[in-house]
Amino acid sequence: MILEHIEGLPLGVALCLSHFPPVPRSERRSVEQRAVELILSELLGESTPRRGYDPLGRPILLDYPDRSLSISHTEGHAAVLLTPSPDGTPGVDIETYRPQLYEVASRYLHPDEWERVLATSPLTELQLRSLLWSAKETAYKVFNPPGASLLSFTAMELRPAELILAYPQGGTQLRLGYQLRPDYLFTYGVHS
């Protein structure tokens, strides 16, 4: 497994990725868990940090109440975003580019939102759909909206390396960082 630290984040915030060869579906869960453990060991300097879940189902570090984390994995990749707890709720998502996102567009895209963002984006349609899916997954981890719908969020503005989502139910917005890679992308953000 190869670890990659993402640079340029605020003080105290760490984002680390793990890259590993694809494995058969039957082994995928255990490999992803090992990747997350490796990242946490690297970030915390401890061999196997104990993890649990808060009442909303978010992962927590049992021995680090002063830290918050978000975890994501996809085929061949895992991501962990670690933040100081008082600074807000983190969210991270890592995704491969999946054509299946065309078929489920009504589950995460508003028609007017899609047309507006598509008109101003230099990305391919698959990149853009994957980015919006991932961004809304990240926002879901941050806000845990009632009704559990990705339609709770609306893309407002797409900039290079930054996407702004509105969350009308919460009366707020979320600024997300993102990076597009050849075979995958990741999004991340913290809301205080």
Cβ pair 28, 75 in contact under 8 A: yes
Residue 94's pLDDT is what? 97
Q: Which residues on neighbouring strands pair with residue 124, listed in sequence order?
A: none
Q: What does the alpha-carbon distance between residue 97 and residue 183 come to, in Å, rounded to a whole number?
A: 6
Q: Taking the model in full, what pTM does it have?
A: 0.92
Write out the two tokens for 115: 């047309």
Write out the two tokens for 38: 């490796």
User: Which DSSP string do the residues of 92-135 spell out, in sequence order?
Assistant: EEEEE--THHHHTGGGT--HHHHHHHHHH--S-HHHHHHHHHHH
Digitized pLDDT (tens) for each residue of the chain, 192 residues in all = 899 999 999 888 999 999 999 888 899 999 999 999 999 999 998 888 899 998 888 899 999 989 999 999 999 999 999 999 766 899 999 999 999 999 999 999 998 999 999 888 999 999 999 999 999 999 999 998 888 889 999 999 999 999 999 998 888 999 999 999 999 999 999 998
List domains and CATH numbers for the chain.
2-93 (no CATH), 95-191 (3.90.470)
Q: Provide the phi-psi class of 112: left if phi over 0, else alpha when psi is between -120 and 50, else beta.
A: alpha
